[in-house]
Chain A
Amino acid sequence: MDNYDRLFGNAGYIARRIASDISGPAAIPRRNGEPVFSEPWESRIFGAAVALCERGLFEWDEFRERLISEIASADAQANVAAPAASTYYEHFLSALERLLIDKGICAEEEIEQLTNAESRDAHDHH
């Protein structure tokens, strides 16, 4: 099982500790072959989920449960037919959306409307 919740409970503490760590002489260059996020929106939605959790809008466990079930159902479907087309962060996005709706933080219609608006905007910008 995932264990993100324990960590995110400590997000503020971790952030402070790391911040002080990085200003010292040990601030060394990193060499990681692979980008952690494959597209910018993935890091945005990740950051949004952590920030909301830090603000106490939900418990990380509540999010984690939904994420696990999103992934599990995609895995199950992938075995039946073709390989899963969805990526980890697509599941992450669906799980967060579901949680926001379940908690009454956002309405499903609001999200639909804004998504459609964003889509129109994207088409108008040329």
Chain B
Amino acid sequence: MSEQESDKGHHPRPLSPAALRAKAIESLLVEKGLLASDAIDSVVEIYEKDVGPLNGAKVVARAWSDPGYKRRLLEDGTPAIAELGFGGLQGEHMVVVENTPRVHNVVCCTLCSCYPWPVLGLPPTWYKSLAYRSRIVREPRAVLREFGLELAESVEIRVWDSSAEIRYLVLPERPPATAEMSEGDLASLVTRDSLIGVARVETSQQAISNG
């Protein structure tokens, strides 16, 4: 292949070398009978949609609704999360850190990309970036601002560095005016970013008023 062959005007978007290579490997594996194309689809679907941050959102909604559960969750995260039927955490100790008006928690993994998959699904791309991994420790306030999260100078920011043994989950603050909401409705407000600590949980009305 030469550069001259590329048809600049008519290509919607040429595939990157990595995309071509990934495609080649997939075809090769299918050709060899090692992989069915729909097996890939189902894996991706499970991790992208089904696992998602849904499990973590349910944990948070339960903690907001049930003070006894919240106490157990903050005391020892792993068994409290397992109470809701979310396993796959063998060997990993889950520590849940609570956001308050005075303390904001944010999670990272400075070494690589340790992440509580069973409760949060697939990690976002930026979580694994060197920029996030290094900067969130040095200048958390500035990084959070880039995520659109402005914190008052009086708020203490605590950065938690995950490891193979310990995974952190942020318990965000419950948004105001949600006292009437059911646990299921509350869970639907909780985003993945809020569980990592780079966003607040907001109701749709707050989101509108904040632009």
Interface residues of A (CB under 8 A from B): 1-4, 6-7, 10-11, 13-15, 17-19, 21-22, 25-26, 28-48, 50-52, 54-55, 57, 68, 71, 75, 78, 83-84, 87-90, 93, 96-97, 100, 105-106, 110-111, 114-120, 122-123, 126
Q: Which of A7, A75, A89, A97 contacts B88 (CB 8 A)?
A: A7
How many Å lie between the Cα of A120 and that of B20 in the bound state?
10
Q: Known A47-B40, A126-B7; judge A106-B46 contact (CB<8 A).
A: no
Q: With both chains docked as a complex, state the minimum distance between the C-beta of B203 and any C-beta of chain A, in angstroms.
A: 11
Interchain CB contact under 8 A, B26 and A48: yes
Query: Can you sample 28 A-B contacts with CB below 8 Å?
Result: A1-B114, A3-B164, A10-B87, A18-B51, A26-B58, A29-B188, A30-B53, A32-B191, A33-B191, A36-B47, A37-B125, A41-B16, A44-B26, A47-B41, A47-B44, A48-B40, A50-B43, A51-B39, A57-B34, A78-B130, A88-B128, A89-B18, A90-B18, A93-B21, A111-B25, A115-B20, A119-B1, A123-B5
Q: How many residues of B contact A (CB 8 A)?
A: 73
How many Å lie between the Cα of A37 and that of B125 in the bound state?
7
Q: With both chains docked as a complex, state the minimum distance between the C-beta of A114 and any C-beta of chain B, in angstroms.
A: 4
Q: With both chains docked as a complex, state the minimum distance between the C-beta of B22 and any C-beta of chain A, in angstroms.
A: 4
Q: Known A3-B164, A36-B124, A117-B24; judge A123-B1 contact (CB<8 A).
A: yes
| Given A26-B58, A28-B184, A36-B125, 16 other A-B residues pairs in contact with their CB atoms under 8 A | A1-B112, A2-B112, A36-B121, A42-B22, A43-B48, A44-B26, A45-B26, A46-B122, A48-B29, A48-B40, A51-B40, A100-B25, A106-B25, A106-B29, A118-B23, A118-B24
Q: Which of B10, B58, B112, B184 contacts A126 (CB 8 A)?
A: B10
- Among B43, B47, B187, B199, the one with the most A-chain Cβ atoms within 10 Å of its Cβ is B43
Q: Total A-B pairs in contact (CB under 8 Å)? A: 201
The 9 closest A-B pairs by CB, nearest first: A47-B40, A114-B24, A47-B43, A41-B22, A41-B19, A115-B24, A47-B44, A51-B39, A28-B188
How many Å lie between the Cα of A50 and that of B114 in the bound state?
17
- Among B21, B48, B92, B121, the one with the most A-chain Cβ atoms within 10 Å of its Cβ is B21
How many Å lie between the Cα of A36 and that of B52 in the bound state?
10
Q: With both chains docked as a complex, state the minimum distance between the C-beta of B51 and any C-beta of chain A, in angstroms.
A: 6
Interchain CB contact under 8 A, A36 and B48: yes
B187 closest partner in A (C-beta): A28
Interchain CB contact under 8 A, B22 and A45: yes
B1-35 residues with Cβ-Cβ distance < 8 A to A are 1, 5-7, 10-11, 14-16, 18-29, 32, 34-35
Interchain CB contact under 8 A, A2 and B113: yes
How many Å lie between the Cα of A62 and that of B43 in the bound state?
19
How many Å lie between the Cα of A42 and that of B19 in the bound state?
8
Q: Which of B49, B112, B188, B193 contacts A33 (CB 8 A)?
A: B193
